[in-house]
Structure 1
Amino acid sequence: MKTEYLLRSTAVRNRTFPIGSVILYLENGMVLVSNDFRHKRTKKLEMYCYLPKQGKWVLTHDKNDLTEEIWNCYRKNHIKYKRKESFNTYKRMMKHDRKHKRGSGGQRLGFSGTVTDYECCKEPIHDFRRVYN
């Protein structure tokens, strides 16, 4: 008995299965494949079963020792994604003390007509240059 967790969509016995599916190979040639893990473990697992004598795939629902092996492989290999940070976290991170400009027009740079203006603070990552044409 061998289990495999798919990291990309893969064809098994002329049938393609999506990312995150778990494949269980049995010694008698049968193959069990499932990607139905969006429910409690106590419920029956929907899986495809390859029958080598008939050479075809059959959809089944079952709960037994083989499905427990499939669940264990899924739990061991599944990556849980963290939720993205909220907008307020980024807004709070960008707050900083700075000296606001007070009516200076900046400096004229040569004949190109470009004027620079700076906002300065103690943290150099928040100093940025403003250019007006």
Structure 2
Amino acid sequence: MDKPQRGYWCECWTQDLTDETQPILRASFDAYSAPQADRWVAVALRTISPALDPDASQEAWEWLYEGRIATRKALLRAEPNAVALTQAGTRITWTIRPVIFLPLAHRQGTELPPCAAEFKPHTD
């Protein structure tokens, strides 16, 4: 990747609703197409659905059969999207946002500046 590339930043968050703690980031994923982004959520939902209570499982399968189409359309319009369900007092939310991935500079074949040798890490 040598130039900026459009894609999607995907995250999975959980929040304990019983004590109103802050959401916790559980996973993230960089997708380079709308199908790849919604597939990440679909795989997660299919994987956990057998362990969900009936209501949460129903929410998951509704998204898999119907909501996924709306999600894909939103992503293709470069709009962010989220999928959420509640399981036993825990809210699980997957977010997908359009982004532009910037290339990172690499150091292969590049010499560091002379001052790099002067850096001495702390040895506390």
- Bin the TM-score by the shorter chain: under 0.3
Name the structure, 1 or 2, with higher relative contact order (CA <8 Å, separation 6+).
2
Name the TM-score, length of structure 1 as normaliser: 0.22
- Quick check: which one's helix share is greater? 2
Name the TM-score, length of structure 2 as normaliser: 0.23
Task: Compare CA radii of gyration and give the structure with the larger one.
Answer: 1
